[in-house]
Amino acid sequence: MGATSVVATGMGFPESTRWRDGLVWLCNWGAGEVLAVGADGASEVMARVPRQTLPFSIDWLPDGRLLVIDGPRGRLLCQQPDGSLDAVADLTGFGPAPFNELVVDATGNAYVNGGPGIVVCVLPDGTAHQVATGLKWANGMALIDDGRTLLVADSHAQQLIAFDVQDDAPLAGFRVWSDLEYAPDGICADADGAIWVATVPGRCCMRVREGGEVLNTVSADRGCFACMLGGEDGRTLFIGAAEWRGMDAAMNEGPGMTGQLLAAPGQPAPHAGRP
């Protein structure tokens, strides 16, 4: 088990947690904000999308430009020097919305999942290709094995699914990396080859080894939507958590304001590559 402290409060659903430039970045669903949060809980709005945008997620290109996936509109957006967000890819042709999560590899290929259980790869030139299918409800993603494996959290299957990343960005070798006790949401990798899995129904983050062995659990008093390793030594697990009242309430009434950013220090070091 691991103890947590509260870093920040008063958010909707804190999703897509990232560690960058000494700050925790996250998507504040319900407010349409991309936030950067310091250790003292002070936050700054780094980008905005319409408040009703659910879901949306973030990552960065190798040159430092911020990417945002606008889930309901099926667009991949890139932040410009003036802070505006311009569309770089239209994903609506790949199937119905929403698109959900985003992860970018070291060469700038952006993997986006969602829609009808698929993964789409947007190349640096903006062209997009469907590279995987067969997922029930695609959620958090992480690149491991020096970028050679893409892991996708399949919430409805309660599994982590692994794909082999080919040299020209397509995916192959759909396989179950781990079965899980609870539906997974956001995920991140550590240096030991284990994966931290945030789960809303389980109200915890589980550290899981390939094959399903649970190595550690950090519990919360509300659903855990996302997680990321960071902090000065890279060993603090930051967790986006909020009360979950069901999908109908989330879509019709909004996320509410129960969202918190939690910190659980003393974890194994993060994966050396991109999350």
Among 175-184, 233-242, 261-270, which is the least confidently predicted range? 261-270
Residue 192 · residue 171 · CB < 8 Å: no
Strand 99-104 versus strand 159-165 pairing type = unpaired
Give the residue from 153, 66, 80 showing the smallest Cα distance to 110. 66
| Strands of 38-137, DSSP E | 43-48, 56-60, 66-70, 75-79, 85-90, 99-104, 110-114, 118-122, 128-132
Q: What is the reported pLDDT for 273?
A: 59
Q: What is the mean pLDDT of residues 218-223?
A: 97
Q: What is the reported pLDDT for 168?
A: 79
Give the residue from 138, 133, 202, 126 showing the smallest Cα distance to 171. 133
H/E stretch holding 199: strand 195-199
Please give the span between the terminal C-alpha atoms of the chain, in angstroms, as a whole number.
23
H/E stretch holding 162: strand 159-165
Per the prediction, the chain carries an average pLDDT of 94
d(CA 218, CA 4): 8
162's CB contacts (< 8 A; 6+ apart) are 149, 150, 151, 152, 173, 174, 175, 176, 177
Does the structure show a pLDDT above 90 at 252? no
Q: What is the mean pLDDT of residues 38-47?
A: 96
